[in-house]
Amino acid sequence: MKKAKTILLVDDDKELCELLGQFLQQHQYQVLCAYDGASAIKMIKEKQIDLVLLDLMLACEDGLEICKLIRQDSKVPVIMLTAMKGDSEKILGLEYGADDYITKPFNNRELLARIRAVLRRVYPEK
């Protein structure tokens, strides 16, 4: 039996983290939550994280900078979750190292499909 992939959800909205975490757990993912960038970076360094869902607009931090910090030490896939819908924000997110970008509000099934697509690409089944 293969081990469940671990997703780190980085968002300062604790209610969203809880609801999205429950949804992802129902689909056999382990979910960890970080409510700020420092906690996220620490978890990535200390735990086996398979994918990061990163909010672009954290309360006190810039998600782009957090993505850049993640990319300095890790190749873990990052999907940006954000309310910012402009093309320039999407382009910046991808240029800073995100593997995908989805805008809020989003359909949970679409997010799940994007997660699965990124994980298939990064961790191909043998």
Neighbours of 65 (CB within 10 A): 12
- Asked if 87 and 70 touch (Cβ cutoff 8 Å), the reply is no
Percent of the chain with pLDDT over 70: 98
pLDDT of residue 34: 95
State the chain's mean pLDDT as an integer.
Answer: 91
pLDDT of residue 96: 85
57-95 pLDDT, tens digit per residue, is: 887 788 888 999 999 989 999 999 988 777 888 888 888
- Asked if 53 and 8 touch (Cβ cutoff 8 Å), the reply is yes
pLDDT of residue 126: 57
Higher pLDDT, 126 or 41: 41
Pair of tokens at residue 4:
């469940």
